[in-house]
A = this chain, B = another copy of it.
Amino acid sequence: MDTVIVTNPPRAALEDVDVLAGLGVATIHEAMGRTGSAGPHLRPIQMDRRIAGTAVTVVAWPGDNLMLHAAVEQCQEGDLLVVTTTSPSTDGMFGELLATSLRTRGVRGLVIEAGVRDCAELREMDFPVWSAAVSAQGTVKATAGAVNVPVVVGRTMVRPGDVVVADDDGVVCVPRGSVTETIEAGRARVEKENATRRRFVEDGELGLDVYGLRPLLERLGVRYVSSQEYEAR
């Protein structure tokens, strides 16, 4: 591994980051052509929180949180820490003390493809976390890693300065270069969904008609049969 700490990567603009937070993970994932989702293994330790921040990335050795401490210094207002390990790990690499330190620098939350601990305390101080595990198991500080290099998180890639959005549906990454088009596409999607919702609720329409799916069902050979016919076969 290239054991480097990259300083001052360009970051997405915070006013864009905040707009993306407002859109939420599922909408952004759709707006990006159904890409960017980290996958179902990263779960929030709290409920009903939706945040976004600019990624400061960390590659740590399993069982070792040395590089998280190195990463703190690279963080600034509006960042979100994104931690991966070189191999699968459930260790509690992050707890209340690191969160306290990050909080003083304006960091908004943590996404970690490993474990966390001090969950009750983190919720109490309202420091939101998405992790692959919760574990009391502590770590050492002995092995080199990297800060602010591109990292793989589940099924997506996160580069430093990218926008990471997280809510109850998981975690999504918006590449820094795609922020503007994603916001646009996301807003269009919200409007379209609002229109669809109205047709569902006010007009009692069905998705089959709103999305024009009846011809597709027919083309695919899906047949309607009564329960009696079906049982009789």
Contacts and interface: CB of A to CB of B under 8 A. Distances in A.
Interface of A: 1-10, 25-26, 29-30, 33-35, 37, 39-40, 43, 47-48, 50, 61-64, 66, 68-70, 72-73, 84, 86-92, 95, 97-98, 100-101, 104, 115, 117-120, 123, 133-138, 140-145, 148-150, 152, 155-157, 160, 167-170, 172, 193, 196-197, 200-201, 204, 206-208, 211, 213, 216-217, 220-227, 230
Contacts of A95: 26
Contacts of A25: 117, 136
A34 B230 contact: no
Contacts of A222: 3-5, 70, 144-145
Contacts of A216: 66, 141-142
A75 to B, nearest CB: 10
A70 B218 CA distance: 12
A227 B87 contact: no
A98 B213 CA distance: 14
A200 B97 contact: yes
A208 B69 CA distance: 6
Nearest to A85: B63
A167 B1 CA distance: 22
A92 B86 CA distance: 12
A174 to B, nearest CB: 13
B117 A26 contact: yes
Task: Across the A-B interface, give the 6 residue pairs with the lowest CB-CB distance, nearest first.
Answer: A69-B207, A144-B220, A40-B135, A119-B168, A142-B142, A136-B169
A217 B155 CA distance: 24
A224 B168 CA distance: 35
29 contacts: A3-B220, A3-B222, A4-B225, A4-B230, A5-B225, A8-B226, A10-B227, A25-B117, A30-B138, A40-B135, A43-B134, A62-B89, A63-B64, A63-B86, A66-B217, A69-B211, A70-B217, A87-B90, A97-B207, A101-B207, A119-B168, A120-B169, A134-B170, A135-B170, A136-B169, A136-B170, A141-B216, A152-B152, A152-B156
